[in-house]
């Protein structure tokens, strides 16, 4: 068994992102095919407990303590460092070790694993906090919410399982504005989400498209619409420092006040539902914007962008483009999450064409840059100009 495991590790380390994902999925299918019914029930029914255990471990800073220690730590040592009761802590540590979030090295003695190192990092801790604190209650409310609507597909962002869970009439994004700590955690989660994975800059031919038309230092080269903290705008400017033109990060003022400072990236307070004030930019870039909104709202954003575009402008939509058949489980669960909290969706290729063409755009090409999630750049232009 060890030789087989070593061979699998070697294959994963020597392959690309797609091969590594394929190996993980094959192992997952193998596990599903050999476990008993009891194994299956035990695995699924305790997923919530795993998330709760990780959340508690983050609260107690257990993962940082273990990852930073050169030697294993005892329950007594960890109790002294965290202030948690030793009897309780021993139970929690044994549970975390049971699914390899940490490693049990001896009786009442623990060290770190690869998972420990992941959750010792603030950005990945934020992912657990976001999904436990914000998404978790909505997920728990989803079955009863859907039953109350006779299982209709949610299309109104003010009528989702999120409103039921948090007893609010506000859309999730509006409600979040009243919760500054939750916003902070969410933004930190987004900043590290998909860390280490390819980005749109690895797939999209920026220089070829940019230099096909006239650029100038005064013209806006790249507008990051709803760009959050600005990671993508900064990455664009750093990858292409010689391309002339301004780079602008747009978002709402409460978000921009936390944005990363960069001397070559301008910040602009913009509500993309109210209009696009930057006219004639070369690239209008929207990353993970449309998956947050149902089609009706998405069409407003598209129309506002079209009205600002020049004849040589390009709209770049950085979002998942799911296959019409055989959606990967990681993408499918994100689609369910968008439905649960925002009445939105991760769209299939067929749904993207229907949305964009119906809103007056023509899709030039789709560039896919991740294997499982199908993160892609959709390059589109106004159909009225390029029809």
pLDDT tens digits, residue range 274-305? 999 999 999 999 999 999 999 999 999 999 99
The CATH number linked to 46 is 1.10.10.10
User: What would the mean pLDDT of 96-101 be, rounded to a whole number?
Assistant: 98
pLDDT for the residue 386: 58
- Inside any domain, residue 20: no
163 has a pLDDT exceeding 70: yes
Q: Could you tell me which of 123, 135, 377, 379 has the C-alpha nearest to residue 229?
A: 123
Task: Specify whether the CB–CB gap between 361 and 191 falls below 8 A.
Answer: no
220 has a pLDDT exceeding 70: yes
pLDDT for the residue 190: 80
Same domain for 224 and 347, yes or no, is yes
pLDDT for the residue 20: 87
Q: Which residue is catalytic, options 262, 291, 328, 386?
A: 291
pLDDT for the residue 189: 87
258 is catalytic: no
Per-residue pLDDT of 230-273, as tens digits, reads 999 999 999 999 999 999 999 999 889 889 999 999 999 999 99
150 has a pLDDT exceeding 90: yes
The CATH number linked to 283 is 3.40.50.150
214 sits in the region (left: phi over 0; alpha: psi -120 to 50; else beta) called beta
- The rounded percent of the chain whose pLDDT value lies above 90 is 84
Q: What is the DSSP pairing of strand 246-251 with strand 109-111?
A: unpaired
User: What would the mean pLDDT of 121-136 be, rounded to a whole number?
Assistant: 94
At how many degrees (to 10) do helices 122-129 and 180-192 cross?
120
Which of 103, 120, 137 is at the close of a domain? 120
- Inside any domain, residue 318: yes
193 has a pLDDT exceeding 80: no
pLDDT for the residue 385: 66
Number of domains in the chain: 3
* pLDDT, averaged across the chain: 94
Q: Could you tell me which of 60, 67, 119, 117 has the C-alpha nearest to residue 90?
A: 60
Which of 94, 120, 146 is at the close of a domain? 120
Which of 66, 90, 120 is at the close of a domain? 120
The answer to whether the predicted template modeling score (pTM) of the entire model surpasses 0.85 is yes
Same domain for 261 and 307, yes or no, is yes
């Amino acid at each position: 068994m060890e030789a087989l495991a070593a061979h699998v590790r070697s294959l994963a380390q020597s392959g690309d992102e797609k091969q590594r994902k394929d190996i993980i999925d094959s192992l997952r299918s193998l596990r599903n095919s050999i476990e008993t019914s009891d194994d299956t029930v035990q695995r699924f029914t305790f997923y919530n407990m795993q998330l709760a255990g990780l959340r508690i471990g983050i609260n107690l800073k257990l993962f940082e303590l273990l990852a930073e220690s050169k030697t294993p730590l005892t329950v007594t040592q960890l109790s002294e460092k965290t202030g948690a009761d030793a009897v309780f802590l021993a139970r929690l540590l044994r549970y975390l070790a049971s699914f390899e979030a940490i490693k049990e090295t001896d009786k009442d003695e623990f060290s770190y694993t690869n998972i420990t190192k992941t959750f010792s990092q603030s950005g990945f801790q934020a992912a657990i906090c976001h999904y436990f604190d914000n998404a978790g209650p909505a997920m728990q409310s989803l079955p009863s919410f859907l039953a109350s609507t006779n299982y209709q597909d949610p299309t109104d962002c003010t009528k989702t399982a999120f409103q039921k869970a948090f007893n609010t009439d506000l859309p999730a994004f509006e409600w979040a504005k009243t919760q500054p700590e939750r916003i902070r955690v969410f933004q930190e989660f987004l900043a590290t989400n998909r860390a280490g994975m390819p980005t749109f800059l690895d797939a999209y031919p920026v220089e070829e498209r940019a230099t096909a038309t006239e650029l100038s230092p005064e013209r806006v080269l790249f507008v990051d619409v709803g760009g959050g903290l600005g990671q993508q705008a900064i990455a664009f400017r750093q990858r292409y420092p010689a391309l002339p033109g301004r780079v602008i990060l747009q978002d709402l003022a409460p978000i921009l006040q936390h944005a990363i400072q960069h001397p070559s990236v301008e910040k602009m307070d913009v509500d993309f539902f109210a209009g696009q004030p930057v006219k004639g930019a070369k690239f209008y870039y929207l990353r993970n914007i449309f998956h947050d909104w149902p089609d009706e709202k998405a069409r407003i954003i598209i129309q506002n962008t079209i009205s600002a575009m020049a004849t040589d402008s390009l709209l770049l939509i950085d979002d998942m483009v799911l296959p019409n058949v055989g959606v990967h489980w990681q993408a499918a669960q994100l689609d369910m999450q968008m439905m649960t909290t925002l009445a939105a969706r991760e769209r299939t290729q067929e749904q993207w064409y229907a949305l964009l063409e119906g809103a007056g755009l023509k899709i030039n090409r789709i560039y896919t840059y991740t294997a499982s999630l199908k993160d892609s750049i959709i390059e589109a232009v106004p159909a009225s100009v390029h029809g």
